[in-house]
Amino acid sequence: MDFAYTVAGFSVGAIVGLTGVGGGSLMTPLLVLLFGIHPSVAVGTDLLYAAITKAGGTLAHGLKGTVDWQITRRLAAGSIPAAALTLVLVHRFAPGGIDGAASLIKVALGVALLLTAVALIFRRRIQDYARQHFGDTPNPARTARLTVLTGAVLGVLVSISSVGAGALGVTALFFLYPAMPALRIVGSDIAHAVPLTAVAGIGHWFLGSVDWLLLGSLLIGSLPGIWLGSHISTKVPDRILRPILATMLMLVGAKLISH
């Protein structure tokens, strides 16, 4: 068990607890760029890492009543089939299977990070735009269809990059449900991330792209890191954290795309 992985898990966990942004935005590029982990192994391991860590968040939000399970089911109806289908197609048609899809995964991860950075910067503007153009009571049937479609897009993105279930999912829900309280949107997104990352992670496991020792090392560090970050989050202004994090994600995303 490499202590450096545990330190990385602690650092990412603290940032996740501090900002609320999913660990995939940070952990996967860290494993690829800093530790030289194969992209498919980094993605597969991080997906199971996310499923385990976010299960605790789902339990907390569920006990508080801040999960809209109807929204979670709609997202899952699109994301889980899309994630499974994406992994099957990559395994069957990518040269060398999932291991041969390293370039595709790097580019997908880079694009996902850039989109996540944009979502972090413009989340409030997107929410205001939705309120102005669709009002606080959008068409229920259209919203339901768009929620399933959003889930499908997240399923494709998460299955090959491990990024998207956090900031991108929350931003999409803010757009689709502008009148819903932010805490309820965050809780619903976290609850949806658990089955999505679990299914995608299990898919990667069957394809042989999960490092269990690495996963254990990351979890040992991340759990206390998340606890610490969540406790100090109220003392650090959000207006300072998000631009810094968005800038970092854009730099890493651009490096992955051009690598």
How far apart are the C-alpha atoms of 203 and 55, rounded to whole Å? 18
What's residue 150's pLDDT? 94
Please, which pLDDT band fits residue 213 given cuts at 50, 70 and 90?
A: very high
Pure H helices in the chain: 3-19, 24-33, 39-64, 69-93, 102-134, 140-161, 167-176, 182-206, 212-232, 238-258
Can you tell me the mean pLDDT for 218-224? 88
79-133 pLDDT per residue, tens:
999 999 998 888 888 777 766 776 777 788 788 878 878 877 887 787 777 777 7
Amino acid identity for residue 5 in this structure: Y
- pLDDT band, residue 198 (cuts 50/70/90): very high
Lowest mean pLDDT among 70-84, 116-130, 193-207, 213-227: 116-130
pLDDT of residue 21: 65
- Average pLDDT score, the chain: 83
pLDDT-wise least confident of 40-49, 104-113, 178-187, 227-236: 227-236
Q: How high is the pLDDT of residue 201? A: 92
Residue with token string 């699109």: 78
Which is nearest to 15 in space by CA: 237, 244, 225?
Answer: 225
For residues 156 and 86, is the Cβ–Cβ distance under 8 A? yes
Nearest to 44 by CA among 93, 108, 87: 87
Question: Does residue 1 register a pLDDT over 60?
Answer: no
Query: Residue 238 above 70 pLDDT?
Result: no
* Cβ 201 vs Cβ 81: under 8 Å: no
Transcribe 184-205 into DSSP letters: HHHHHHHHHHHHHHHHHHHHHH
pLDDT tens column, 6-45: 998 888 888 777 766 667 778 888 898 889 998 889 989 9
pLDDT tens digits, 136-178: 666 788 889 999 999 999 998 888 887 777 777 887 888 888 7
Stated pTM of the model: 0.80
